Each structure stands twice: as structure tokens, then as C-alpha cells.
């Protein structure tokens, strides 16, 4: 594996608060890398810096050798960078099929876009509700419609920002299978999550942030047994459910 995404001494402040303070790490092509930390540790800020929602104050972010620092969000999407949002907003009034189809149609003919849309809906377990209005979907399937729309852009890497939040154990289990299925298609995953059972099941490496700084990194076993990680999570209050 080689480095697909690299962050070097990345910093971002809001007023006097150092949301991200000199963070460096690599994401290797084809892996599922966990990015964890307590609330306010800088995880979502990192996602917003990589995707272009925020500009960085200093440091470098590169994707497959291309410096991202000054690239627009559409250009980053064109490079193959996708991300979900913690609270996905459905396209009100559109069906599940239409919500994905209009994105696929931007680069394909009508028939090709229709075929691609159905393939994506099969992958994301949404084919059986393709004619539902997107706002009718329950929370789990609304999250995977968000994922389906990203897949329509042909991403090379997807940043999953707390996609397990609000799900019950059965939904978490099915979502873990979904993430693994996407990764098996060759898509790199940056997995930002509080549900530690899912993180340990999916990730080969984990990066831990705390108060905007890199706390530690390593295998799931190394990270879960690191005293500094346990202390950061308020004496072991990690969510294992």
C-alpha cells in the first residue's frame, strides 16, 4: 500500500481555539483507517479541511500527490474525495432513485446513468425503496442514501463522519457490513466514529485525536490499550455498543 492522503502539520483555529493543532498522518490506499477522539477533539474539523469546507491556516494536505490547500470543493470531488455528513439532508420531493440519478447523469448518458444508479442502489441496499420519497426513509437508510449519492461521483476515498450515530445494534451491524462491502470495491475509507465496536471490527489502523492534537496511532489493540486514550475518554467511557 502507498499513501493516498497525507496531512502534514495541519493547523486550524477559530478565534483563539486551536481546533486542529499540528496534526500529521497518512491514509493508505485501500485501507479503512479509524479516526477517533472525544467530542471536540478535531475529527469533524479534519474532515472539513480535507473536503474543502474549511481552509487550513498552515500545513499541507495532499491527495495522490496533488496539494489540496487551495482547491475548491468541486475540484476535490473530481479528484475522487467524498464525504458524508452527520445529519444527511434528503432531496425533498425526489425519489431515492432520482436523488442518485441526477448526480450520475452529470457524467453519463441517460441509460448509462440509470444502470449506474441501480447498481449503486443494490450496493447500498436501497433498491427495494427506489420509488420512495427520500424524506420518507428511516434514519439508517437516509444515511445510506447519502452514501449512494457519493458513490455516484466515483470516489476513491470516502470520509464517513459518524454514520453509526443514532443507530440501534442491528442497524450498526448491517452498516458495518455495508462499509466493508464498499472497501472491498477498492474504496479507501476514513472512518470517523464514536461506536468503538464498529471501529475495532472494521479498521486495521486507528488515529486518535485529543484537543486538536494527535494523541496516538496504531492497531486497534494498541490504541485500545493505550493509557492516554483511556484517560482521554474520561477514564474509559468509550461507547462499545
Residues spanned by the domain of 163? 3-86+155-232
Q: Which has the higher per-residue pLDDT, 215 or 234?
A: 215
CATH number for the domain spanning 81: value is: 3.40.50.300
Distance (Å, whole) CA 9 – CA 7: 7
On whether residue 206 sits in a domain, the answer given is: yes
Phi/psi for 40 (5° steps) reads 85, 10
On whether residue 127 sits in a domain, the answer given is: no
On whether residue 128 sits in a domain, the answer given is: no
Q: What's the gap between Cα 11 and its chain centre?
A: 20
On whether residue 20 sits in a domain, the answer given is: yes
H or E stretch including 52?
A: none
Q: What is the pLDDT of residues 100-121, one digit of tens each?
A: 999 999 989 999 999 999 999 9
Distance (Å, whole) CA 193 – CA 197: 10
Q: In the prediction, which pLDDT does 241 show?
A: 36
CB contact at 8 A, 76 and 63: yes
- What CA–CA distances, in Å, run from 91 to 62, 136, 141, 146? 31, 11, 14, 10
On whether residue 149 sits in a domain, the answer given is: no
Q: What is the pLDDT of residues 192-201, one digit of tens each?
A: 998 989 999 9
CB contact at 8 A, 133 and 93: yes
Nearest to 147 by CA among 88, 94, 106, 63: 88
Judged by DSSP in three states, 160 sits in strand
Q: Residue holding cell 446513468?
A: 113
pTM, two decimals, is 0.91
C-alpha cell at 139: 434514519
Q: In the prediction, which pLDDT does 79 show?
A: 97
Amino acid at each position: 500500500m502507498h499513501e493516498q492522503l497525507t496531512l502534514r502539520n495541519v493547523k486550524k483555529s477559530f478565534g483563539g481555539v486551536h481546533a486542529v493543532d499540528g496534526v500529521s498522518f497518512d491514509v493508505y490506499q485501500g485501507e479503512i483507517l479509524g479516526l477517533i477522539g472525544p467530542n471536540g477533539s478535531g475529527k469533524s474539523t479534519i474532515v472539513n479541511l480535507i473536503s474543502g469546507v474549511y481552509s487550513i491556516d498552515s500545513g499541507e494536505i495532499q491527495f495522490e500527490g496533488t496539494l489540496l490547500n487551495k482547491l475548491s470543493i468541486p475540484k476535490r470531488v473530481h479528484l475522487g474525495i467524498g464525504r458524508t455528513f452527520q445529519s444527511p439532508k434528503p432531496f425533498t420531493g425526489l425519489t431515492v432513485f432520482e436523488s442518485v440519478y441526477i448526480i450520475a447523469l452529470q457524467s453519463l448518458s441517460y441509460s448509462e446513468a440509470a444502470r449506474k444508479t441501480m447498481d449503486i442502489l443494490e450496493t447500498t441496499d436501497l433498491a427495494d425503496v427506489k420509488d420512495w420519497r427520500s424524506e420518507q426513509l428511516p434514519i439508517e437508510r437516509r444515511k445510506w442514501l447519502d452514501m449512494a449519492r457519493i458513490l455516484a461521483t466515483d470516489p476513491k476515498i470516502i470520509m464517513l463522519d459518524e454514520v453509526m450515530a443514532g443507530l440501534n445494534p442491528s442497524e450498526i451491524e448491517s452498516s458495518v457490513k455495508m462499509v466493508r462491502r464498499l472497501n472491498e470495491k477498492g474504496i479507501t475509507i476514513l472512518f470517523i466514529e464514536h461506536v468503538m465496536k464498529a471501529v475495532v471490527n472494521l479498521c486495521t489502523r486507528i488515529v486518535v485525536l485529543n484537543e486538536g492534537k494527535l494523541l496516538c496511532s496504531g492497531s486497534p489493540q494498541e490504541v485500545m490499550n493505550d493509557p492516554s486514550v483511556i484517560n482521554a475518554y474520561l477514564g474509559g467511557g468509550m461507547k462499545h455498543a
